[in-house]
Structure 1
Amino acid sequence: MNLEAWFTNRPQWLQIAVTRLLQQPELTDKDVSELAILCQQEAAGKLPKTTTSFPSSAFLQNATGNLRLCSISDVEGVNALAPKKPLEFGKSNITIVYGNNGSGKSGYVRLLKHVCGAREMGALHRNVYKPVSAIQKACISFEQDGIPKSHTWSGQGICDDLNSVDIFDTSFGKVFVSSEDEVSYEPPVLSFFSSLIIVCEKVASALDAEANRHQSKKPNIPADKKVTPEGIWYEDISAKTTTQDIDKHCAFGSTDEIEMQTLQQRLAEQAPAEKAKGLRKQKQHIDTLVQDAQKHLDQLSDENYRRIIAAKENSILKKAAADAAAEKVFSGSELAGIGSDVWKELWEAARKYSVSAAYKEAVYPNVSDGSRCVLCHQALTQEAKERLISFENFVKGEMQKAATDAAKEYEAASQTIESLPTLETLRIRIDAAGIPQNEFATHVMEFFEQLQARISQLPEIDSEEAIPDPLLSPKWIDEANAQSESLGELAEKYDEDAKSDNREEIKKKLNSLQTRKWLSEHRAAIDEEVTRLKLLNQIQEAKKSANTMALSKKKGELAEILITEAFVQRFDAELKTLGASHLKVKLVKTRAPKGNVLHQIQLRGASMNGLAEILSEGENRIVSIAAFLADVTGKSNQAPFIFDDPISSLDQSYEEAVVQRLIELSQDKQVIVFTHRLSLMGLIQEYTKKVDQDPEIIGIRAETWGTGEPGDTPLFVKKPDKALNSLIIDRLSKATKLLHEHGKDAYEPYAKSLCSDFRILLERMIEFELMADVVGRYRREINTKGKIHKLAKISESDCQYFDDLMSKYSRFEHSQPTESPVELPSPQDLLADMTGLKEWREEYAKRTI
């Protein structure tokens, strides 16, 4: 039975629990909470691995302490019990609590069953004849290893210090006999397993409580979205759902929003073909706007700027050269400005006039005979002709031609920059493109304003170094292109809508998008739910390690060795001791759920096992007592036994056997017997004498205020000498006081009772003293050994003496005739008779044969 090795293979948190349970008899709620946390950590792989060892003496059996019940007091709300004095059990190891039916015996036994946690506690009612009290309580005083203690019971709960007390009453007949049951005794190692199983159950409960604290906050998805792939995924979220899964199904961006709106529009559109045309027209306007912007951007590029400036610089340079040549040619001219631009314009205007009107057939300038100046119409002199010819040679010269060509190039380059549309025109075109007057439209307007500013700067730029920073392609062009593409695609979809009936497909796609949007809006709740499910999964994994199956199985294996065989042997031995070995019964193990070994008493060789129906009432009773004793005598502690009328339904032989067994048990344990049977008291008194033991006899009775009131020991169970002293000192003194203080009305009822008790005492004196206790009422056995020879002391006067006293006091037991009533004796007469009896006893005891 290498339990250390077995426990080493258990979960680590359970090994820690074992260590703690070995150090303290019961784990606290704090211990359970800490173990539950360790259990979770181990399930999550976060509990550091440590080596746990157990002392070699961990599971050895140790004897427990001695326990004695002392008293029951302050009883309220328990049946009809209402004692004013405590019920004290005395110092003897065997105590008899005697009382008639209805005196409160069963009430005390039921109370003790609830306080001590008996196997069959039953219901504990309040006094049904009195108004219901909200209070149930009692105080139980006891000694534990000689140390006085007390427990105040408040209507519920069990006193842990008293749960080892064993109680037998009629209900125990159901145990083992009518049903299978578990033995109450467990060797320490099995008790340890039982405690460990309880710890596991508490840890499992703590884990359940922890799981219950994490309730789902997962939103309910709308019914129409549950049928989508996204909705199905949402409904199947589990601890295995990954972040990637969540990202995939909860992603929803601006593109998705646009597509969702588009689908909604498509579903709402009644004329998809016309819608497609409108979208393409809108696309065309956007494309035109983009093309214009790109065209002007290209025209105002740095490269074009450099080409225009280069042409401008070349034109200036060539003009300067031509002007210099003209200055040189016309330096002798009488008028200034010959060869200048203004002059050249005049010259070209004259040429045009000459060739088109004045001299259509002549080459300009016409210097033929008789020609005139086309400007002043005067006849040309030879000098004038020569001057005109020199002018023409200058104009047609290379320098001038180069200057003219350069000017033309500059003008052509400048004309590559077209005029920009006005702002009003732009607004119209933007509206036509379907672009709302928002940030996008503002960017378009600002861009064309930047183009205009660049155009305005061009005349002032004379060199490449003066070119301003280039304009970059604006982002709105990319956005416009994307929108244009989207419009084209959308137009195609509307064309498809016009050609085929695909509305259901669109609805499904729209519902999926709407579901994904819903999921994205509840992303935080989804993350929280997955985290919760992972935690619950971890808790469930932890709870698996708190399963008691392995512990129960091991306990069952140990119980096979430590309990069953010994328990059956004790049962057989008890049957033999009680004189019932001839009964064909056997105690067998039936099953072992959760390591609790269950037994049942069955008939040997019978076809049916209805034990309660086959055996007589008395046989059932003796078998129940044997099972009870076999169950509880295996304990190592010194806890009290309580019996409630154990010999009910038993014949004389079984009664004597049970009494002898009780007295045997009382040698080292406290035995308390509740009974209303005088025969049981007589048997106990008889057999205790044989072992030099004095039983404690306590009487209880019902009073007007309730039952269970302790009183004097019944007269018929006291020793005659002690009973006589009690009558003289206590009862006679009280009678005398009643007569003197209250008169005959108070005295006579009490005196009659006193006479009756004195008569009973006479009977006891005859049995115990005169007849030497050879024979006795309620006793089967005749005591002859060492006693019968004493009968020789009896004289005729002794017989006459008792005959006279019995005759005198018997009269008070019967009704008296009214015409000749019998006077009750006075206190003096009673004292004389009682004193006389006392003197007779003393003399008789000294008398020799």
Structure 2
Amino acid sequence: MSDVNEIATEQSETLVSEIKHFANELPYWGRFLVAKIFENQDIDDTVIDSAYELLLEDLGIKESQEHEDITFEDPDFTEGSYGTQVVFEKLENIEGVNALSERQQLLFDNKFTLIFGANGAGKSGYVRLLKQVFHSRSKETIQPNINEDTPKNVKASFSFKKDGTSLPLSYPTDEANSIFEQFAVFDGDSAQKYLKEKNQFTFRPSGLNFFGKYNTAINQLEAKLKEQIEQKDTDNNLEALFEGESDIKSFVQGVSKSTTEEQVAQYTPFSEVDKQKQEQVEKEHDELSVKVNSSKKEIEALEKLKALIQPKISEITALNAHFTTEKMDEYNKLITGLNAFETQAISEGISNFSTDKLKEVGSTEWKSFITSADTFAKKQNPDYPANDETCLLCHQPLDENAKDLISKYWTFIKSEAEQNLNTHIQTLTSKINLLKDLSFDLLKEDSVLGEWIKTNHESTFIIITTQLGVLKTLCGTITSALDKRETFQATSIEVKTDQLTALENGITTTIRQLKSDELLTKLTDLKKEKTFLLHKQKYNQHLSKVKDLVANLKWVDKANKVKYQKRKVTDTEKLLSNKYFNDEYVLAFNEICEELNGNFGITINHTGSGGTSFRQLELKGNSPSTILSEGEQKVIAIADFLAEMKMSEINQGLIFDDPVNSLDDDRKEIIAKRIAKESTTKQVIIFTHDKPFFHHVSNAVEQLELSFKNHMIESIGKVYLDNSPRIEAKYKNTEIPTGYLRKSRAAAPEERSLILAHGFASLATCYEYFVKNNMLRSIISPFDKHIKLSKIKEIKLDNDFSEKFVQYYGNVCDLKEGHLPSDSYSNLEINSDLLDEEINKLNQLKEEYKNI
């Protein structure tokens, strides 16, 4: 066994032992799941159901049973029916993939296959199909041929050889076959995902995949338990069964996970004695309710009456205020003052206007007339009467006597005596109007309060209404005197309200007595007892619901204490992944970066979640895609892809689609050599449109002395097997001119000369290849930027060989033109034998050169 295999075996054993140690620390239900995973069983519903029952026992929800102890043998981590030696041999019968030509066939070498196709030739259609079938980080939806009215479904035939046995598969019928997982595709789109995204490790030591499987099983178990919790963790709606309040309802409202069986049983049973007592209580309650309801109506009526008395007292008090001794003195003083101001006004001005020509001078009408005249005159002229003014009535000119008389009128109007008189008149008028508007009918017989007082307290009603009548008469006397502007003699009268207050107090006392009646207290007690007995009856009717509620609450409480230890799963997976995989992956990645001349300081950030590992490429905390050039990004992505495939235990083949786009020639050559190196351990298939890269890969595979195939794709997917772009490696030997030789012998005379010309031309190219790659030891190359002068020491020549070589090469150059410029060949016919002779000469020269 090799050192590498010994190390791998040692690590595998250590990884297994640590996984077993992790499993032995799990609860019984967890060990049960682990055992099924170790046996490589499907974790189906039956397994989950069994684990669920064990989980309920662990939580104390279900009574524990005796179970056999679980011991772990070495687990079977085999995943799927993977082959240890798998070769992708053939792809054919493709239908429904873009506009690819049908009935095409691609044959693959078991080591290396190089397929050339120019842009637009259909190469990408084949790659999309392979990405869909094999592992790829950038699967694409395959579009049908839009030029067809009824596009065909995607189909293809794949031929493999698995451990020496042929295995034909079809897509999509057999897409679940594990063989398809053993090949991986890398292209430009997947390169960006390797650079920019956090990628899950798809290929890892199979033992590490245990944690993902175990975590998936836990999630299934958790979902089942959660579903049961949701069904049992319902709201407590039992209180809706109990109308009213009681100790039983309060108990039901407070039911919790802590409620005991004794507490549940405290209100059971509802016996025959309880039933008889319930009937008796209901009868007493109904009879008493009739009496209490009557009292309630009486209380309501009294409260309404009581509410009317206080406003009525306020109305009478307000009415009394108009007829006090002070108020009657005020009325008489108003008349006395008015008379005095009238006398003063007459004495101060009206005598000046007395004349036999006018009657009633000084009367109210007279005063109104001159007051209105003053107001109207001011509208004509604020200084009226001024010069040249006319009379407002007759429009005759005013002499000086007339003007003097008008001025005296204005002075009279403005006199203080007259103004005082006017104020007293307005006050007197207001008082008269106020007294006339007073209402004395405050206890109407048809009002609620008046009717009740007259019916229940007639003497009080008569006293108050009589006093109100006397007060009304007094009011008439006063208003009559005031109208006549005469003083009067009267005694003040007050309508007493103490009797109304006494009635109010009596109503209050009656209400208090009614409310404090023993009937109400007894009715309340009977109602409580009635409600309690009714609730007890319903409680026993729904006792099973109460028990179920308590049981569910206890069930949910225990279920919520479950510990799945997901963090422990993730932490253990991460620890073992770092120990047995991540570090090796980083080492492989760095080695490949070194080979690809890609040491850019890339770091790999590892994370874990749910038993699954992820990686993220970073460059000083940034995504490489934001820092590196496009070529450098491609190098890092290829290194990541190759490192992951190197760590895979199942990968058998790598497929690349134009892995060197936008790279310089030096990078292309480096990557070509590294990918060619993969073909020493895996099957490698490359699709490319890049001729320099095609050249570099071909040379690299040749130098490794590996078998390989070359194909070309043209015309939207048409395949030309065993064809490739014209490159110098084809002229390493004389197969091409020999092919023309065979064609010439079978050709007609008119075609033979042209075929022979091609034969001699290709033979001349064979001479040139021999000089560059054998004699000059690859010092120069059409795809290299530099001349490799360090290899000049490897050149070996002697004079005889050189002279012979130049002579033979010159002959071929002459013959490739299709005629004989030399006279010595003038009668010589160019035929197939001549080409055969020249081919043999070159092969003899090659043998001679080996011995120099």
Normalising to structure 2: TM-score of the pair?
A: 0.56
What amino acid is aligned across from residue 719 of structure 1 in structure 2? K
How much has 1:690 moved relative to structure 2?
1.5
How much has 1:781 moved relative to structure 2?
7.6
154, 173, 184: which one pairs with 2:172? 154
Residue 87 of structure 1 is matched in structure 2 by 106
How much has 1:554 moved relative to structure 2?
0.9
How much has 1:616 moved relative to structure 2?
0.7
The 1-side partners of 2:745 and 2:524 are apart by 113
610, 613, 622: which one pairs with 1:594? 610
**Does the 8 A contact of 1:240 with 1:534 survive in 2?**
yes
How much has 1:56 moved relative to structure 2?
6.3
What amino acid is aligned across from residue 84 of structure 2 in structure 1? G
717, 724, 730: which one pairs with 1:714? 724
Query: Are the structure 2 counterparts of residues 799 and 757 from structure 1 closer, same or farther at C-alpha, using a change threshold of 3 Å?
Result: closer
Residue 619 of structure 2 is matched in structure 1 by 603
Residue 172 of structure 1 is matched in structure 2 by 190
**Does the 8 A contact of 1:105 with 1:674 survive in 2?**
yes
Could you list the per-position Cα deviations for residues 183-207 of structure 1 after superposition, in whole angstroms to 9, with x for gaps in the alignment? Answer: 4442343223333223333333454
The 2-side partners of 1:133 and 1:233 are apart by 71
How much has 1:596 moved relative to structure 2?
3.6
What amino acid is aligned across from residue 667 of structure 1 in structure 2? T
**Does the 8 A contact of 2:40 with 2:76 survive in 1?**
no
Residues 1:668 and 2:646 are matched in the alignment:
no
Q: What secondary structure does 1:633 align onto? A: helix
What amino acid is aligned across from residue 29 of structure 2 in structure 1? W
**Does the 8 A contact of 2:242 with 2:535 survive in 1?**
no
The 2-side partners of 1:549 and 1:12 are apart by 18
**Does the 8 A contact of 1:165 with 1:641 survive in 2?**
yes
Query: Are the structure 2 counterparts of residues 766 and 843 from structure 1 closer, same or farther at C-alpha, using a change threshold of 3 Å?
Result: closer
What amino acid is aligned across from residue 657 of structure 1 in structure 2? I
Residue 846 of structure 1 is matched in structure 2 by 844
Residue 653 of structure 2 is matched in structure 1 by 640
Residue 619 of structure 1 is matched in structure 2 by 632
Residue 38 of structure 2 is matched in structure 1 by 22
Residues 1:118 and 2:118 are matched in the alignment:
no
**Does the 8 A contact of 1:214 with 1:532 survive in 2?**
yes
646, 659, 667: which one pairs with 2:672? 659
Residues 1:198 and 2:196 are matched in the alignment:
no
The 1-side partners of 2:578 and 2:565 are apart by 21
How much has 1:561 moved relative to structure 2?
1.9
**Does the 8 A contact of 1:260 with 1:513 survive in 2?**
no
Residue 448 of structure 2 is matched in structure 1 by none
Residues 1:552 and 2:570 are matched in the alignment:
yes
How much has 1:557 moved relative to structure 2?
1.6
Could you list the per-position Cα deviations for residues 422-455 of structure 1 after superposition, in whole angstroms to 9, with x for gaps in the alignment? Answer: xxxxxxxxxxxxxxxxxxxxxxxxxxxxxxxxxx
Residues 1:46 and 2:64 are matched in the alignment:
yes
Residue 574 of structure 1 is matched in structure 2 by 592
The 1-side partners of 2:698 and 2:102 are apart by 27
186, 193, 205: which one pairs with 1:187? 205
Q: What secondary structure does 2:647 align onto? A: coil
How much has 1:619 moved relative to structure 2?
0.7
**Cα-Cα RMSD:** 5.1
The 1-side partners of 2:51 and 2:773 are apart by 71
How much has 1:671 moved relative to structure 2?
1.4
**Does the 8 A contact of 1:231 with 1:515 survive in 2?**
yes
Question: Higher mean Cα deviation, 146-155 or 260-269?
Answer: 260-269
Question: Higher mean Cα deviation, 654-663 or 31-40?
Answer: 31-40
Residue 25 of structure 2 is matched in structure 1 by 9
The 2-side partners of 1:725 and 1:267 are apart by 130
The 1-side partners of 2:525 and 2:699 are apart by 103
**Does the 8 A contact of 2:808 with 2:841 survive in 1?**
no
Question: Higher mean Cα deviation, 658-667 or 522-531?
Answer: 522-531
Query: Are the structure 2 counterparts of residues 568 and 136 from structure 1 closer, same or farther at C-alpha, using a change threshold of 3 Å?
Result: same
Could you list the per-position Cα deviations for residues 58-105 of structure 1 after superposition, in whole angstroms to 9, with x for gaps in the alignment? Answer: 8999x98233222334434444445323433233x1111222223333
The 2-side partners of 1:102 and 1:267 are apart by 102
Identity of aligned residues (%): 18
Q: What secondary structure does 2:685 align onto? A: strand
- Unaligned residue ranges in structure 1 (runs of 5+): 276-493, 740-746, 809-831
**Does the 8 A contact of 2:96 with 2:144 survive in 1?**
yes
The 1-side partners of 2:104 and 2:112 are apart by 21
What amino acid is aligned across from residue 143 of structure 1 in structure 2? K
What amino acid is aligned across from residue 38 of structure 1 in structure 2? L
**Does the 8 A contact of 1:272 with 1:497 survive in 2?**
no
The 2-side partners of 1:731 and 1:34 are apart by 80
Query: Are the structure 2 counterparts of residues 697 and 763 from structure 1 closer, same or farther at C-alpha, using a change threshold of 3 Å?
Result: farther
- Unaligned residue ranges in structure 2 (runs of 5+): 1-13, 297-513, 820-829
Query: Are the structure 2 counterparts of residues 226 and 641 from structure 1 closer, same or farther at C-alpha, using a change threshold of 3 Å?
Result: farther
Q: What secondary structure does 2:695 align onto? A: helix
**Does the 8 A contact of 2:248 with 2:532 survive in 1?**
yes
The 2-side partners of 1:165 and 1:632 are apart by 9
The 2-side partners of 1:263 and 1:710 are apart by 109
**Does the 8 A contact of 1:226 with 1:235 survive in 2?**
no
541, 564, 568: which one pairs with 2:582? 564
Superposition pairs for residues 473-488 of structure 1, below 5 Å? none
What amino acid is aligned across from residue 576 of structure 2 in structure 1? L
**What is the total number of aligned residue pairs between the two structures?**
582
The 2-side partners of 1:767 and 1:508 are apart by 120
The 1-side partners of 2:529 and 2:146 are apart by 75
What amino acid is aligned across from residue 275 of structure 2 in structure 1? S
The 2-side partners of 1:512 and 1:185 are apart by 71
Could you list the per-position Cα deviations for residues 394-442 of structure 1 after superposition, in whole angstroms to 9, with x for gaps in the alignment? Answer: xxxxxxxxxxxxxxxxxxxxxxxxxxxxxxxxxxxxxxxxxxxxxxxxx
Query: Are the structure 2 counterparts of residues 617 and 715 from structure 1 closer, same or farther at C-alpha, using a change threshold of 3 Å?
Result: closer
The 1-side partners of 2:256 and 2:832 are apart by 95
Residue 72 of structure 1 is matched in structure 2 by 91
How much has 1:621 moved relative to structure 2?
0.9
Question: Higher mean Cα deviation, 148-157 or 679-688?
Answer: 148-157
How much has 1:618 moved relative to structure 2?
0.3
What amino acid is aligned across from residue 147 of structure 1 in structure 2? T
What amino acid is aligned across from residue 671 of structure 1 in structure 2? V
**Does the 8 A contact of 1:117 with 1:158 survive in 2?**
no
Could you list the per-position Cα deviations for residues 15-67 of structure 1 after superposition, in whole angstroms to 9, with x for gaps in the alignment? Answer: 23323322327545543443334333443352435433334688999x98233
The 2-side partners of 1:520 and 1:841 are apart by 113
Query: Are the structure 2 counterparts of residues 760 and 162 from structure 1 closer, same or farther at C-alpha, using a change threshold of 3 Å?
Result: farther
Query: Are the structure 2 counterparts of residues 17 and 797 from structure 1 closer, same or farther at C-alpha, using a change threshold of 3 Å?
Result: same
What amino acid is aligned across from residue 11 of structure 1 in structure 2? P
Query: Are the structure 2 counterparts of residues 245 and 560 from structure 1 closer, same or farther at C-alpha, using a change threshold of 3 Å?
Result: same
The 1-side partners of 2:77 and 2:170 are apart by 33
How much has 1:715 moved relative to structure 2?
5.7
